[in-house]
Copies of this chain bind each other. A is one copy, B any other.
Amino acid sequence: MFRKLLSLDEAKEKISRRFKPKPLGVEQIPLLDANRRVLAEQIVSPIDVPPFNRSTVDGYAVKAEDTFGADEANPARLRLRGAINVGELPNIKLEKGETAEIATGAPLPKGADAVVMMENTEKQGGTVLVYRSVVENENVMKAGADIKKDEVVFTPGKRLTWKDIGVIAALGVKTVKVYRKPRVAVISTGTEIVAPGNRLPPGKIYDINGYTLSASVAECGATPLNMGVVSDDYQQLSETLREALETTDAVITSGGVSVGPRDFIPRILESLGGHELVVHGIAIKPGKPTTVALINGKPVFALPGHPTSALLTFHLLVRPFLAKLSGISGVEKTFKTVKACVGVRMFPAKGRRTFVTVKLVREADGRNVAYPATTGESGAITTLAKADGFIEIPENQQFIDAGEEATVHLFEV
């Protein structure tokens, strides 16, 4: 039974045509809890930031023109009207020839348009000598110079960083609307897979994918629900899938998709009501048997059981999908990339787009060099654990030669 495999681009296109992942609703949360959450509203500044013309130094507020021509030999002499501290509304209005002491961050008094730094002045009783001229707005941050009232500061779809949190706080905003985090079920299957914590019968291995995929889901900003290992018992797997589809927004399985009598995930998916098999095999290496279905509108990503394959297909297909479901805009920029020299010649598999997991090494000369992190399909988890990302080799390329520069897509979110 042969079928023409979809190319990766065709698979992606088909998935995005069939699923239109939309954010899952909005919740209002304290700004303090909004780090790494995805903004669901436009943030428009209700105020000027700073809210007033503020001094950026300790010194004397002046009318700039009163200082013109002042120098060490010919200081300007200004009458001291008082002092303005931070947090105070100045009740002074400077007239020509007058000055007021002012602290860093304090509002300029009326009539002042510049500040002379303390070190360029000398106080003599009620008079301040100014030894250096200043121009208008010197040492002053104007009201709204940073953010203007009614300025759009952030738009929906921005995943907030700790720095953005500071910007929103500066506007006086205390709560923000964010998109609900997607809940994602993670199910491991396979005759040979045993959940950690259990005795390991001969011939079996412990589940890795359930753990790496759950942690990766969390890194993407979604909430993983690890449903453990389901042996490839048709009935049990079918029930677990039903339960997962009822309680979560998307389901990831690993294992059970290769061609083989026990690899029956595609058959189970077909047996569930309201199914549509969107992708059944992709011309990529690794990850060829990857299967994607839509069950009553909810996606099931059935990834291969090999840890490297599961991880790569997660990053290629599931991660951008989760980003869209999380409401993140600009999903195409989901991957951080770095340029690196390739450490050894890398070949693509014939007719399949090939992904080589690589470890980045900084050489003594400062170059980033990417070395393959897994040798063939050996599935060594310790080498996979050293992988920083992957290099993509197009179907039609003969090889990437040692020393050539390539783009490394990082696993890091």
Interface residues of A (CB under 8 A from B): 31-32, 35, 47, 49-52, 56-57, 85-90, 103-107, 141, 145-147, 153, 161-175, 190-198, 200-212, 214-216, 218-219, 224, 226, 258, 260, 262, 305-307, 339, 366, 376-387, 411
Contact = CB atoms under 8 A, between A and B. Distances in A.
A367 to B, nearest CB: 11
B191 A88 contact: yes
13 contacts: A51-B200, A85-B262, A105-B305, A146-B383, A161-B215, A162-B212, A163-B385, A165-B211, A168-B196, A169-B207, A172-B196, A174-B196, A339-B366
A85 B191 contact: yes
A254 to B, nearest CB: 12
Contact of A197 (B89, B174, B190, B214): B174
B191 A86 contact: yes
A123 B196 CA distance: 38
B211 A260 contact: no
B170 A206 contact: yes
Contacts of A104: 258, 306, 377
A202 B204 CA distance: 70
Given A172-B200, A174-B197, A202-B107, A167 B385 contact: yes
Contacts of A203: 52, 86-90, 106-107
Contact of A380 (B145, B171, B216): B145
Contacts of A378: 56, 141, 145
Nearest to A380: B146
A376 to B, nearest CB: 7
A185 B92 CA distance: 39
Given A49-B381, A147-B382, A171-B206, A165 B35 contact: no
Given A163-B212, A190-B87, A215-B162, A47 B200 contact: yes
A260 B106 CA distance: 13
Contacts of A141: 378-380
A339 B366 CA distance: 8
Contacts of A305: 105
B260 A103 contact: yes
A172 B206 contact: yes
A216 to B, nearest CB: 5
B163 A56 contact: no
Contacts of A366: 339
Contact of A205 (B51, B190, B200, B339): B51
Nearest to A84: B203
Nearest to A145: B380
Scoring A172, A195, A210 by chain B CB atoms within 10 A of each residue's CB, the highest score goes to A172
A188 to B, nearest CB: 10
